[in-house]
Amino acid sequence: MTDFDDQRTLAEKLDAADPLAGFRGQFVIDDPSLIYMDGNSLGRLPTRTKNVLANVVDRQWGNRLIQSWQDAWFDAPQRVGAKIAALVGASPDEVIVSDSTSINLFKTAMAALAMKPERNKIVTDEFNFPSDIYILQGCCDLLKDGHQIELIRSKDSIEMDTESISLYLDDNTALLTLSQVVFKSGYLYDVRRITEMAHAKGALVLWDLSHSVGSVPIHLNDWGVDFAIGCTYKYLNGGPGAPAFLYVRRDLLDRVQSPIWGWFGDANPFSFSLDYTPSDQINRFLVGTPGVLSLLAMEPGVDLILEAGIDRLREKSVQQTSYLIDLFDTFLAPLGFTLGTPKQPEHRGSHVSIRHPEGYRIARVMIEEQKVIPDFREPDNIRLGIAPMYTRFIDLWVAVDRIRRVMQDRRFLQYSSERQMVT
Amino acid sequence: MTDFDDQRTLAEKLDAADPLAGFRGQFVIDDPSLIYMDGNSLGRLPTRTKNVLANVVDRQWGNRLIQSWQDAWFDAPQRVGAKIAALVGASPDEVIVSDSTSINLFKTAMAALAMKPERNKIVTDEFNFPSDIYILQGCCDLLKDGHQIELIRSKDSIEMDTESISLYLDDNTALLTLSQVVFKSGYLYDVRRITEMAHAKGALVLWDLSHSVGSVPIHLNDWGVDFAIGCTYKYLNGGPGAPAFLYVRRDLLDRVQSPIWGWFGDANPFSFSLDYTPSDQINRFLVGTPGVLSLLAMEPGVDLILEAGIDRLREKSVQQTSYLIDLFDTFLAPLGFTLGTPKQPEHRGSHVSIRHPEGYRIARVMIEEQKVIPDFREPDNIRLGIAPMYTRFIDLWVAVDRIRRVMQDRRFLQYSSERQMVT
């Protein structure tokens, strides 16, 4: 038996011992030979979502019509928000579902900046998700009073020097905002430690949980976080473009205001008063009518994560990223790949980036010829996402096996390097 | 045969002659005895939407997973936007689907105000939809440079003195924004005339088409409109909270900027560059990842309106509101109701408001005991929405018949006036 075959046996043993193995059966998996390694970008479809959506469409919309606002829809942003609160260590009344992650960042960043009118520096890092940086650039442009972004620079996104963050924070810093898990490398920040650093300098803190929620334990209250936002279509399996969430610490709520004043944020939306009176609840960060189908289709994915339990999911995720990195070291590093993800489990989320100068073309062949679906992030990152809800250890072994084949037959040389994939 | 019975016969004749009658069969109607008069708030479920959504969920999300972004999702905001463009008299590249109506108003109003930095007055009317007024109040608060809203006041919302609008417009007016159809009364503004008035004073114009699109012909290009927004879950039958649309006149596009800079608005969202470069297309008004399920579930409703043809729909709508107002005059006015909608067809959209001091309780009994579903708008408006796609003349007769019964048995006196209905 070769070394690689031994690893296959190990994967099978680990799967057999996996207490979460049963959850895979809760997802639609039409083609078991497809190895889906992109649950960190778009989570799989939970089987029960189909029934939920059929009920929302046929019974609620089709049959009960407008009455469903009263029956089931009007309180959905708070109700589902309360479930997400349980996943991020917040009180049920501190989280609401609304809009997109980018719009929620706009709302919370603007709210935070308004709380610190005498300061005009925003600190983030150059590895933050670009849309987050764009939103912040837009806030600076809009405020027209000298707000500037200072980017924390690091040698790379694998070994972030978190202690150096304090060097960027000063008496002029209004807001520090970072992604808990860095989208390219999977680097996992120490939220508690960095939040303390910012508070020590009198700055507010806003965490983007998009790349961590559902795969990493989060304790916003314990960590003293001021604001947070996040996405529900990755590890929460909420569906393509499912609405995002937004957290504001309870004691800040009556001192913050959304920059966008819509009727769903009003204390009494159906009074149709001519003057906006913000709700005294987290609802004040709502704007317009929520997209009900996308919102309610997202709920079963959140329920499943709660059922599996975030600590168990994290334990499996660490086991799986560790197993994959072991395979990487022995079987992929010799083929010209470098590891784009921290080696220490406490510093990484739930995906493993493997880097190669031909990464784009290799990713294309993986998808189009080998039925392994990762995603690609410029310039050379192939991201292998692990969703412990449904990823098996054997999937990781098969993925590596197929990547080895791609490198062996070198068919990627027949593909164009011109970028065509949009995700 | 009594007069009222004659009217029933007339309704049956009109239905028999209706060239659009067949479209009713394209909608899910579980209970033919339910008279649904709230399609102006939430349109009915098109039968084909069920198949579309099943395909999006089962095949696109469940089976093709992340690859569906490339296959079907990434261009959906533009593709569906182009269809809506055909409904509002715009070029296909001038309309995009995104976010909610309120957020689109925020984006376009802020964009317009930035184009007129030397002016700081916004003009709208006191009968505009409250969320629109709230958004504008939020814009003024955010801009902190003296922007103010001036409300056009009228005796009532039935007979608007449109000529007096010019009195509110001056050299300091940056923006005039109104709803084409007024939500309480159904008053239909002369968009061309009012747009000309505003342009004559050097102001920009932004029309909210939420209460008109799909029931009234709209010619944004011919009318010279600068900006428009609108909702898709009313007459377009797009589903609860379906995403909204946004129009910018082509020649303004390279001079306007969204206040919210997200990655979907970037010229190349997947380059992951650290600097935002707005798309040179209408995409620059996109922000975050669109809610795909809600967006694609909306498309069949738009297709159906295009198939029926807006001119035929308008013709039927005028016939139906006229028929209903005839019934009102003879049979409801004597019972203490007053008409809350203009008598002249050219001044009204597709709903008829009937007002009564006990309107709230009457509406409750209509819904809970008589299976007629209108909606109620403070303080005394019962809105009877007519959706010519599926409303029959006989439905109008039955609705009036049942309202007469409500007034006869006076069971509404047994209900509380305390407001409980949220829609």
Q: Are residues A107 and A251 in the same domain?
A: yes
What is the predicted ipTM?
0.97
Domain region containing B11: 3-46+309-414
The average pLDDT across A340-361 equals 97
Q: What DSSP designation does B336 have?
A: T
Q: Residue written as tokens 């440079």?
A: B145
Across the interface, whether the CB atoms of B66 and A28 are under 8 A apart is answered no
pLDDT grade for B161, boundaries at 50, 70 and 90? confident
pLDDT grade for B201, boundaries at 50, 70 and 90? very high
Q: Among residues A168, A233, A323, A360, which one is catalytic?
A: A233
Q: Are residues A103 and A236 in the same domain?
A: yes
Is 90 exceeded by the pLDDT of residue A250?
yes
Is 90 exceeded by the pLDDT of residue B272?
no
Beta bridge partner(s), residue B314: none
Within-domain flag for A59? no
Within-domain flag for A62? no
Q: Are residues B185 and B250 in the same domain?
A: yes
Q: What is the largest CA-CA distance in chain B?
A: 77
Rounded distance between C-alpha atoms, residue B60 and residue A298, angstroms: 16
- Mutation target among B35, B134, B384 for the A interface, most CBs of A within 10 A: B134
Please provide the distance, in angstroms rounded to a whole number, between the alpha carbons at the two ends of chain A.
Answer: 39
Q: Are residues B117 and B234 in the same domain?
A: yes
**Residue type at B310?**
I
pLDDT grade for A161, boundaries at 50, 70 and 90? confident
Contact B28, B279 (CB under 8 A): no
Buried b (16+ CB within 10 A) or exposed e, B28-54: bbeeeeebbbbbbbbbbbbeebbebbe
Is 60 exceeded by the pLDDT of residue A163?
yes
Looking up residue B235, the CATH number of its domain turns out to be 3.40.640.10
What is the per-residue pLDDT for A329? 97
For B48, the token pair is: 């084909």
B423 touches chain A (CB under 8 A): yes
The last residue of one of the domains, among B284, B307, B330, is B307
What is the per-residue pLDDT for A420? 76
B313-328 confidence digits (pLDDT tens): 999 999 999 999 999 9
pLDDT grade for A280, boundaries at 50, 70 and 90? very high
Rounded distance between C-alpha atoms, residue A221 and residue A414, angstroms: 52
Rounded distance between C-alpha atoms, residue B279 and residue B93, angstroms: 12
The CA distance from B362 to the nearest CA of chain A, in Å, is 16
pLDDT grade for A423, boundaries at 50, 70 and 90? low
A232-245 confidence digits (pLDDT tens): 999 999 999 999 99
Strands of the sheet containing A121-125, edge to edge, are A95-97, A245-248, A227-230, A204-208, A173-179, A121-125, A148-152
Q: Are residues A208 and A265 in the same domain?
A: yes
The last residue of one of the domains, among B243, B277, B307, is B307
Across the interface, whether the CB atoms of B240 and A297 are under 8 A apart is answered no
Contact A253, A65 (CB under 8 A): no
Q: Strands A338-339 and A245-248, how do they pair?
A: unpaired
B110 touches chain A (CB under 8 A): yes
Is 70 exceeded by the pLDDT of residue A50?
yes
Q: What DSSP designation does A280 have?
A: S
**Residue type at B272?**
F
Contact B214, B234 (CB under 8 A): yes
Rounded distance between C-alpha atoms, residue A58 and residue A41, angstroms: 29
Q: Are residues A187 and A325 in the same domain?
A: no
Choose between A181 and B158: higher pLDDT. Answer: A181
Across the interface, whether the CB atoms of B65 and A38 are under 8 A apart is answered yes
Contact A296, A290 (CB under 8 A): no
Closest CA to B44 of B56, B29, B57, B62: B29
* Chain B residues with CB-CB distance to A363 below 8 A: none
Beta bridge partner(s), residue B348: B187
Nearest 10 degrees: Cα torsion B152, B157, B158, B160: 0
Within-domain flag for A419? no
Q: Are residues A78 and A186 in the same domain?
A: yes
- What sign results for the dihedral spanned by CA atoms B365, B368, B369, B373? positive
Within-domain flag for B423? no
A279 touches chain B (CB under 8 A): no
Within-domain flag for A422? no
Kindly give, in sequence order, each residue whose CB lies less than 8 Å from that of residue A255, ignoring residues fewer than 6 positions away.
Answer: A115
A13-28 confidence digits (pLDDT tens): 999 999 999 999 999 9
Q: Which residue of B has its CA nearest to A45?
A: B62
**DSSP for A204-221?**
EEEEE-TTTTTTS---HH
The CA distance from B145 to the nearest CA of chain A, in Å, is 11
A419 touches chain B (CB under 8 A): yes
Is 70 exceeded by the pLDDT of residue B423?
no
The last residue of one of the domains, among B307, B327, B343, is B307
pLDDT grade for B422, boundaries at 50, 70 and 90? low
Query: What is this structure's pTM?
Result: 0.97
Q: Are residues B193 and B277 in the same domain?
A: yes
For A82, the token pair is: 């309360």
Rounded distance between C-alpha atoms, residue B196 and residue B402, angstroms: 44
Nearest to B261 among A134, A240, A287 (CB): A134
A68-79 confidence digits (pLDDT tens): 999 999 999 999
Is 70 exceeded by the pLDDT of residue A422?
no
Looking up residue B342, the CATH number of its domain turns out to be 3.90.1150.10
**DSSP for B120-174?**
-EEEEETTS-HHHHHHHHHHHHHH-S--EEEEEP-S-SSS--GGGHHHH--TTEE
Nearest to B276 among A137, A233, A377 (CB): A137
What is the per-residue pLDDT for A313? 98
- For residue A21, the tally of other CB atoms under 10 A from its CB is 15
A126 touches chain B (CB under 8 A): yes
Across the interface, whether the CB atoms of B61 and A239 are under 8 A apart is answered yes
- On average, the pLDDT of chain A sits at 96
Catalytic residue positions of B, numbered: 129, 208, 233-234, 383
Q: Are residues A198 and A343 in the same domain?
A: no
Rounded distance between C-alpha atoms, residue A295 and residue A69, angstroms: 13
Contact B28, B34 (CB under 8 A): no
Within-domain flag for A54? no
For B324, the token pair is: 């209903």
Within-domain flag for B65? no
- Mutation target among A26, A45, A131 for the B interface, most CBs of B within 10 A: A131
Q: Residue written as tokens 């997202």?
A: A298
Nearest to B273 among A65, A130, A292 (CB): A130
Q: Are residues B299 and B313 in the same domain?
A: no
Contact B77, B283 (CB under 8 A): yes
Could you give the number of structural domains in chain B? 2
- On average, the pLDDT of chain B sits at 96
How many residue pairs bridge chain A and chain B with CB atoms within 8 Å of each other?
Answer: 285
Across the interface, whether the CB atoms of A260 and B103 are under 8 A apart is answered yes
Within-domain flag for A69? no
- For residue B344, the tally of other CB atoms under 10 A from its CB is 8
A 15-34 residues inside an 8 A Cβ radius of B? 28, 30-31
A278 touches chain B (CB under 8 A): no
Question: Can A208 be counted among the known catalytic residues?
Answer: yes
What is the per-residue pLDDT for A256? 97
Question: Can A234 be counted among the known catalytic residues?
Answer: yes
Rounded distance between C-alpha atoms, residue B76 and residue B46, angstroms: 19
Q: Which residue of B has its CA nearest to A70?
A: B422
Q: Are residues B269 and B325 in the same domain?
A: no
B208 touches chain A (CB under 8 A): no
Q: Are residues B184 and B279 in the same domain?
A: yes
**Residue type at B60?**
Q
Least confident window among A245-249, B162-166, B278-282: B162-166
Closest CA to B185 of B353, B394, B312, B406: B353
Is 70 exceeded by the pLDDT of residue A421?
no
Beta bridge partner(s), residue A121: A148, A173
Nearest 10 degrees: Cα torsion A11, A16, A22, A28: 40
The average pLDDT across A208-225 equals 98
pLDDT grade for B1, boundaries at 50, 70 and 90? low
